[in-house]
Amino acid sequence: MTLNQTDFEYLAKFVLEHSAISLGSDKMYLIESRLAPLCRQYGVANVSEIVASIRQNPRSKLSSSIVDAVTTNETYFFRDAKPFDELAKETLPRIIAKKGARSTLNVWSAACSSGQEIYSVAMMLEDSFPELKNWDVKLYASDISNAMVERTKAGVFNQLEVGRGLPAALLIKHFNRKGESFHVKDYLKGRLQVFPLNLASTWPSLPSFDIVFLRNVLIYFDPVVKQEILQKTERVLAKDGVLFLGGSESTLGLKTKLVREIGKFCPWYRLPSS
Ligand SMILES: C[S@@+](CC[C@H](N)C(=O)[O-])C[C@H]1O[C@@H](n2cnc3c(N)ncnc32)[C@H](O)[C@@H]1O
């Protein structure tokens, strides 16, 4: 049985309320195919039964499985290259020089998916910034999807995943092979704090971040939600902090204090100078 319009509308509203992800009616087929594996997992006959179940019990475990299933978790190591070039060659040298004796550095991957983004940063810091060895460097990663939070914490990747964007030398240096999978070494994992966070909901108290990666997630939200998330990001960005958005994302047309800079390798955002 395929999903009827009423059930689709209920699901779309449910997903919007739980994740702020806005699903147009053109996404009906996509939703059905994303939720199909849950039917097997929860032993129900079809997606309409899933809808019936969450109508009855919207706070069940199934609810978070639905959010997990509809999120798009596409990611890879050193995705889009340019923000990582900007970070290594421009942003970090500038921030390190400005900080002087204040030897702390906080980096946040704010929609981390399975963790490739924050592990890319971790490897870069380890390999290219020996001067940070005695600094208090903290790497934070969060995602709305509990499954992605767990994956990031685990730092375990398959052959296909390590084949996307990760230079062989870094694979050899920073991962242990166990059978068919590749495990990030403990010294990198140990620097990470990973937590669940729905960017569209109220944020907990967070540290002040020198670098924020908020990439390839704003695209799923409507302009009001995007604006609210950017305004919350302003409040956690350090005075000389740097925000990277995804290649197809910008603050254009949104009410935000953030100032766009044309970097050497890619655009980035900062707070206005006081
Ligand atoms: C396409 S991935 C981007 C991953 C990584 N930032 C990158 O650029 O490669 C988008 C991520 O955003 C997460 N996401 C979607 N809605 C979210 C929300 N409301 N709050 C936090 N994360 C969300 C998804 O679970 C998914 O892991």
Torsion-angle region of 249 (φ positive above 0: left; ψ -120 to 50: alpha; else: beta): beta
- Pair (54, 186) in one structural domain: no
Tell whether ligand 1 has an atom less than 6 A from the beta carbon of residue 77.
no
142 close to 236: Cβ distance less than 8 angstroms:
no
199-214 burial, b at 16+ Cβ within 10 Å, e below that, comes to bbeebeebeebbbbbb
- How many whole angstroms separate alpha carbon 230 and alpha carbon 218? 9
Per-residue confidence (pLDDT) for residue 3, from 0 to 100: 83
- Pair (60, 101) in one structural domain: no
Tell whether ligand 1 has an atom less than 6 A from the beta carbon of residue 21.
yes
The pTM of this model reads 0.95
pLDDT tens readout for residues 257-269: 999 999 999 999 9
Q: Which residues contact 223 (CB under 8 A, 6 or more apart)?
A: 253, 254
Q: Is residue 203 part of a domain?
A: yes
Q: Which domain holds residue 249?
A: 82-270
What CATH number is given to the structural domain containing 225? Answer: 3.40.50.150
- Pair (100, 232) in one structural domain: yes
Q: Is residue 100 part of a domain?
A: yes
Tell whether ligand 1 has an atom less than 6 A from the beta carbon of residue 79.
yes
215 close to 246: Cβ distance less than 8 angstroms:
yes
Query: How many folded domains does the chain comprise?
Result: 2
**58 Cα–ligand 1 center, Å:** 22
Residue 181 forms beta bridges with which residues? 158, 178
- Pair (143, 15) in one structural domain: no
- Pair (90, 36) in one structural domain: no
Q: At which of 70, 102, 126 does a domain end?
A: 70
Q: Is residue 221 part of a domain?
A: yes
pLDDT tens readout for residues 81-129: 999 999 999 999 999 999 987 699 999 999 999 999 999 999 999 999 9
Closest-lying ligand 1 atom to the alpha carbon of residue 20: 19
Q: Is residue 77 part of a domain?
A: no
Per-residue confidence (pLDDT) for residue 1, from 0 to 100: 55
Tell whether ligand 1 has an atom less than 6 A from the beta carbon of residue 198.
yes
Q: Which residues contact 61 (CB under 8 A, 6 or more apart)?
A: none
- How many whole angstroms separate alpha carbon 177 and alpha carbon 179? 6
Per-residue confidence (pLDDT) for residue 104, from 0 to 100: 95
- Pair (109, 51) in one structural domain: no
Here the tokens at position 271 are 């707070």
Rounded to a whole number of angstroms, the CA Rg of the chain reads 20
